[in-house]
Amino acid sequence: MTVDDVADYLNKPRSWVYGNWKAEQIPFRKVGQSLRCRPADLEKWLDDQN
């Protein structure tokens, strides 16, 4: 998933995702200069957020 995909999924602005992905430990990986996240990793991260 791209940053835009994750922002849509989380119902957050793209700027929030970029500004908080490290602090919130959203499971992005760098692919070249882009951030990508696997849907399963994002689901697990969400489950761990309670």
Question: What pLDDT, on the 0 to 100 scale, is given for residue 29?
Answer: 95
For 7-37, what is each residue's pLDDT tens digit? 999 999 999 999 999 999 999 999 999 999 9
Q: How many CA atoms lie within 13 A of 5 on its CB side?
A: 11
Distances (CA, A) of 48 to 8, 16, 24, 32, 34: 19, 19, 11, 28, 25
Q: What's the whole-model pTM score? A: 0.89
Question: Which residues, in sequence order, are bridge partners of residue 35?
Answer: 30
